Amino acid sequence: MQRTLSVLSLIVILTWVLPGRAGAPEGIEKAVDRGLTFLKGQQRGDGTWPHGEIGATALAALTLLECGVPGSDPAVQKAADAVRKASIDLTHTYSLALSVLFLDRLGEPVDISLIESMTVRLLAGQNPNGGWTYQCPNIPESEVRRLTGLLNQRNELVAGQGLPKPAAPGKRTPRDLPQEIQQQLQLVNQQGPGGPGKGHRDDNSNTQFATLAMWVARRHGLPTEQAIAKLNLRFRSSQNADGGWEYGFNAPTPGKGLNKGNSTATMTCAGLLGLAVAYGVGNEAALKTDAKAPDPIKPAKPQFDPAKDISVRAALIALSTIIDHPVGDRKGRQVPSIDKSGRMYYFLWSLERVAVAFGLSTIGNKDWYAWGAEILLANQDANGSWNAAYSGGGVDTCFALLFLRRANLARDLSATLKGAFPDPGEIVLKAGGIGGEDLLATMAAGKSKLALTGDDAPTEMARRPVDDKTPPSPPRNVDAEAGRLRDELLKAPADKQMSVLEKLRDSEGAVFTQALSAAIPNLSGSLKTQARDALAERMARMTAATLKDKLTDDDLEVRRAAALGTAMK
C-alpha cells in the first residue's frame, strides 16, 4: 500500500462543483477550556511539564499565553523560571527554538539576553544544507557565567519589584547587541556552518522550529538574514516533483529536475514555512526602503509576491489533497478517528501555522479550519486532552489547542504577506479542475492512505470513503493528425504503449503535444500518470515565452503540464 504522497495524489484538484463550506463546529470554546484545564493540571511543582526536554515546558507555557492566559498567571511564571534556568546551557534544537518563542511571547525585557544567546547557538547549529539536527554547539563556560549573573540580577529585580518596562519592538539592530554576543556572532561567521550537526543527518522537523526562532530573533536585533537565505535555498533545491518535502534533506541531482522523494504532509508545511519566512525578509527590507521616500499616492506594499511562485503554489496544491471538507451533517460521512500512534496533531498545528502565515481561509477551496476543528472535537479525550504519538508532557494537547486558537507565532510575518496569496485551488477550480477522478477512484476503493508524519517512520490516517461522483471529461476538438496520434496511443497493445508514449514525448512539433493532452482524459492507472509526466517533460523543453502562454491554455491538461514543466526548468 502506498505510504507517501505520490505525484498524482499531490497535484490533483477536485473537478466537480463543491458543496458549500461548513462553518466551524460548535463547542470549540468548551473544548479549549477543557484542554487548558488538563494542561495546567499536568504542570509539576518545579514549573515543568513531565517530558524529558525543557522544550515541552516552553511549548505548554506558550500555549497558555496563546489561549488567553495572562503572563502574570502563576502557571506561566513558574514555567518561565524553569525555562530560564534550563536555557543557560541548552543545546537541544527543539528546546532552544521553543524557548525563544515562549520568552519572546512573554515579553519581559530581562529575557532578551537569553533570547540573544540561544539564537547564537541556533545560528551555530545550522549546517551547510541550511538545516538543523537535534543538537547545537555547546555554550562556552564564559557565556554560562555571564548568563547566570544576568539571571541572578533579574531575580533581584523581581524581589525588589524593579523590573524594567518593555521596550518598543523591532527597534534594535545588530549594533545594539552586547559586545559578548557580537563576538560570538563573529566567531560563528568565521567557523562557518556545522557545529555538532556537521556531517550528520539534518531534518526538516528540527529545521521548521529553528525557522520560527530565526524569524522571531530578528525582532531583537539578531542578524538572521543569512540563515534565512540558506533556508530558502534549502527548500527550493530539495522540493520533490510532487510539490512536497520529506523528512530529510533530499539533495538535488544536477540535470535531473525536481527530486522524486517521499513527501509528507507535515514536512510540506515545513517547506512552505521556510519559503514564507524568506518572503517576509525580502518584503520587510523593501518596505523599509519605501519608507525613506514615502509616496502618499502609492503607499508602500510588499514587493515580492509569493502568489507568483510556482514552488509555493505547488506545495499548497499538495496540501489541498490531504485536507478535506468538514463532514457537517452530510449523510453517510463520519469524522475520522485519530491513530493513537500517529502524528496527526503535529500535522494540524503545522497546517494551521502555514495557513495563518499566508492568510488563507481555504486551501484548495476547502475550509481547513472547520475540517481540522471537527476532527479535534471528535477526538478529544474525556479528561480534556488529545493523545497520539506526542502525548508525553501534553505536547499533542498543545498542538490541538494552538490549532483551535489559530495561534499566530509570527504575526509580523503575516503582515508582510497579508493579501499577497490567494487560494491557488480556487483559481483552478473555477477553470474546471485537473485530475481529480484518479484520486477519487483510489480513495473510494479504499486503496489510499496518505502519509501524515513529521518524523522518520511514516504513520498514516486512513481517508474516509468519498461518495461524490466526478462527471466525465468533455470531448476535445483536435486536429486530424493529432487525433490519429492520440488514437495510436489509445489503441496500442500493452507491450507497445510505452514506445508510442515515448514517441509522443520526444518528437518535435505541436501536434504531438496536442495528441498527448487529448489522450490523457481517456487513459487510466499508471499509463495516465506516465502520459502526464511525458507531457510535462515536453513542456520543460519549451521556451519561457511559450510556457507562459501554455499556463493560460484552454486545455486543463496543458495548463497542468505547463506548471510542472515550469518547475522542472
pLDDT attached to residue 560: 73
**443 within a domain of the structure (yes/no):** no
pLDDT attached to residue 131: 95
pLDDT attached to residue 478: 62
**560 within a domain of the structure (yes/no):** yes
Q: How many CA atoms lie within 13 A of 116 on its CB side?
A: 25
pLDDT attached to residue 529: 74
Contact (CB, 8 A) for 245 and 275: no
Give the model's confidence band at 309: pLDDT under 50 very low, under 70 low, under 90 confident, else very high.
Answer: confident
**441 within a domain of the structure (yes/no):** no
Within 10 angstroms of residue 436's Cβ, the number of other Cβ atoms is 17
Residue type, 148: T
CA distance linking residue 415 with residue 429, whole number of Å: 27
pLDDT tens-digit map of 100-149: 999 999 998 889 999 999 999 999 999 989 999 999 998 888 888 988 88
Could you tell me if 552 and 420 lie in one domain? Answer: no
**527 within a domain of the structure (yes/no):** yes
Burial of 325 (0-12, 13-18, 19+ CB in 10 A): buried
pLDDT attached to residue 385: 96
pLDDT tens-digit map of 364-410: 889 999 999 999 999 999 999 999 888 888 999 999 999 999 998 87
Domain endpoint, select from 430, 458, 490 = 430
Number of domains in the chain: 2
Higher-scoring residue by pLDDT: 449, 373:
373
pLDDT tens-digit map of 465-478: 222 233 333 444 56
- Report the pLDDT averaged over residues 508-525: 88
Locate cell 466537480: which residue?
16
Could you tell me if 409 and 510 lie in one domain? Answer: no
Could you tell me if 300 and 169 lie in one domain? Answer: yes
pLDDT tens-digit map of 9-57: 332 222 222 233 345 677 999 999 999 999 999 999 999 999 889 999 9
Could you tell me if 413 and 507 lie in one domain? Answer: no
pLDDT attached to residue 249: 87
Whether the per-residue pLDDT at 74 is higher than 70: the answer is yes
- Report the pLDDT averaged over residues 218-231: 90
Could you tell me if 20 and 157 lie in one domain? Answer: yes
Give the CATH number of the domain where residue 137 resides: 1.50.10
Please name every residue paired with 240 in a beta bridge, in sequence order, or none if there are none. 259
CA distance linking residue 12 with residue 436, whole number of Å: 5
**401 within a domain of the structure (yes/no):** yes
- At 282, list the grid cell: 525580502
Whether the per-residue pLDDT at 163 is higher than 70: the answer is no
CA distance linking residue 207 with residue 502, whole number of Å: 40
The helix (run of H) or strand (run of E) holding residue 515 is helix 510-519
Higher-scoring residue by pLDDT: 176, 329:
176
Could you tell me if 487 and 367 lie in one domain? Answer: no
Could you tell me if 421 and 530 lie in one domain? Answer: no
From residue 148, alpha-carbon distances to 118, 478, 548 in Å are: 14, 76, 59
pLDDT attached to residue 162: 52
Locate cell 484542554: which residue?
35
Could you tell me if 345 and 402 lie in one domain? Answer: yes
Higher-scoring residue by pLDDT: 375, 163:
375
Domain endpoint, select from 430, 447, 464 = 430
pLDDT tens-digit map of 244-262: 999 988 776 665 555 667 8
Give the model's confidence band at 436: pLDDT under 50 very low, under 70 low, under 90 confident, else very high.
Answer: very low
pLDDT attached to residue 280: 86
Could you tell me if 368 and 487 lie in one domain? Answer: no
Could you tell me if 540 and 402 lie in one domain? Answer: no
**530 within a domain of the structure (yes/no):** yes
Give the model's confidence band at 216: pLDDT under 50 very low, under 70 low, under 90 confident, else very high.
Answer: very high
- At 16, list the grid cell: 466537480
> Which residue range(s) make up the domain with 489?
476-568
**451 within a domain of the structure (yes/no):** no
**54 within a domain of the structure (yes/no):** yes
For the chain, give the mean pLDDT.
Answer: 77
Could you tell me if 133 and 25 lie in one domain? Answer: yes
Domain endpoint, select from 395, 430, 465 = 430
Among 93, 91, 88, smallest CA distance to 113 is for 88
Whether the per-residue pLDDT at 61 is higher than 80: the answer is yes
CA distance linking residue 357 with residue 414, whole number of Å: 5
CA distance linking residue 310 with residue 258, whole number of Å: 12
pLDDT attached to residue 171: 66
Give the model's confidence band at 194: pLDDT under 50 very low, under 70 low, under 90 confident, else very high.
Answer: low
The DSSP secondary structure of 266-311, one letter per residue, reads: HHHHHHHHHHHHHHHHHHHHHHHHHHTS--SSS----SS-GGG-HH
Could you tell me if 259 and 313 lie in one domain? Answer: yes
pLDDT tens-digit map of 540-562: 888 888 877 887 777 778 877 87
pLDDT attached to residue 260: 67
Residue 163 is given by DSSP the state P
